[in-house]
Amino acid sequence: MAKGAIKTIHISDEAKELVDLMNDRFGIDRKLIVDRALFWLGNQPEEVQAAILMSVSQSMQADFAQFALQRLTDQQATQQATVTPEQPGGKLKYAGKPKAQYHGTPRNPKK
């Protein structure tokens, strides 16, 4: 899909308030916040995506949580046994600016 293909995403008022709060706190553009959140979600294991996107009935939540945790633990153990720091995925970096300090106060406080 071409960059910028989605022009508008409708979100709840509560979600918009959270995006606005992150915008104020970190000084990051709202579009970039949503882009990063969706990119992060899309790159999570299926178990994490399912937990976030699906409505699991209360009677199934405990079983689903145990299954997802066990599967993620097994996958992590397999990855740790095969990935070294020199390989892609071996060392994680934050995608922000080098040496940037991220804290709970806004960079550009509103006046």
pLDDT at 65: 79
Query: How do the pLDDT tens digits run along the chain, 111 residues long?
Result: 566 677 788 999 999 999 999 999 999 999 999 999 999 999 988 878 887 887 677 777 778 878 888 888 888 888 777 755 555 555 444 455 444 444 555 555 554
The radius of gyration computed from the CA coordinates of the chain, to the nearest angstrom, equals 18
Identify residue 38 by its one-letter amino acid code. Answer: L
CA distances from 45 to 6, 50, 71 (A): 24, 9, 10
pLDDT at 38: 93
- Distance CA(8)–CA(47), nearest Å, equals 28
Domain ranges of the chain: 12-43, 47-79
Map tokens 């960079």 to a residue: 107
